[in-house]
Amino acid sequence: MVAGNWKMNKTLQEGVALATELKQSVKNPKCAVVIGTPFIHLATVAEIIKGTPICLAAENCADKASGAYTGEVSAAMVASTGAQYCILGHSERRAYYHETYDILREKVLLALENGLKPIFCIGEVKEEREAGKQNEVVKAQLEGSVFNLSAEQWADITLAYEPVWAIGTGLTATPEQAQEMHAYIRSLIAEKYGEQIANDTTILYGGSCNAKNAAELFANPDVDGGLIGGASLKAPDFCTIIEARG
């Protein structure tokens, strides 16, 4: 899979232009292609990409089902736009909007209950990597928010390993660092759900993945694709990354 995360970029009109460009250029991708857009773009973009191989993701959903939560957008509302995926647990949501393991566990369950497939992000910050704690951090994030799921629920989960020090910084993890962590994550899934399910789980890499370095990152056996921020905002770059997944 190659998934784009537009973050808080693009007005509705700019988003329509980008989705239209992608619709014209993404013809026969050899991997799943997802674009993650701001909430307000979802319904419109869903119409634009209808009948194409491109799938749609929200970048978040509420941790409550419905009711008096001014400004929030529920998983049911996201699903009603035609989106199939929901990015959850992004490090920016954890850091700036204080999303805890418990909040994320609720969001994942609500997404699943409403037929959305979570793209669940995990990853350590720079200080944790420097202290050699990256494995412990990632394990706690999985145990805190998604290892409560049944094997059946797990089938709808995509993981994205995004070392926080690599996001938007131009500091990509080396292919070796990515492979090492992805293999570790897969081993945790195997311990919890068994080898078969672990092998079937899609684990994306995210963090300054771009048109130049994608092929090298995706060449690793445990790197199943990418979650792309900055480079997903330009159709030609995003298309090169999709081709790199091959």
x-or-dash pattern for ligand PGA, window 127-166, by CB under 6 A?
-----------------------------------x----
Q: Is 118 in the site for ligand PGA (CB under 6 A)?
A: no
Q: Binding to ligand PGA by residue 230, rule CB under 6 A?
A: yes
**209 interacts with ligand PGA by CB under 6 A:** yes
Question: Cα(236)–Cα(211) distance, rounded to whole angstroms?
Answer: 9
Residues with Cβ < 8 Å from 5, sequence gap 6 or more? 36, 59, 87, 90, 206, 227, 228, 229, 232
* Contact status, residue 238 vs residue 33, Cβ threshold 8 Å: no
Q: Using the minimum distance from each CB to ligand PGA, give the nearer residue, 91 or 201.
A: 91
Residues 56 and 82 sit within 8 Å (Cβ to Cβ)? yes
Marked catalytic residue, from 106, 124, 128, 162: 162
Q: Select 162 or 224, whichever has its Cβ closest to ligand PGA.
A: 162
One of 41, 90, 99, 124 is an active-site residue; which one? 90
C-alpha span between 199 and 109 (Å, rounded):
23
> How far is it, in rounded angstroms, from Cα 110 to Cα 76?
8
Determine if 77 is a binding residue for ligand PGA (CB under 6 A): no
Q: Is 182 a catalytic residue?
A: no
Which residues of the shown chain bind ligand PGA in the complex (CB under 6 A)? 5, 162, 167-168, 206-209, 227-231
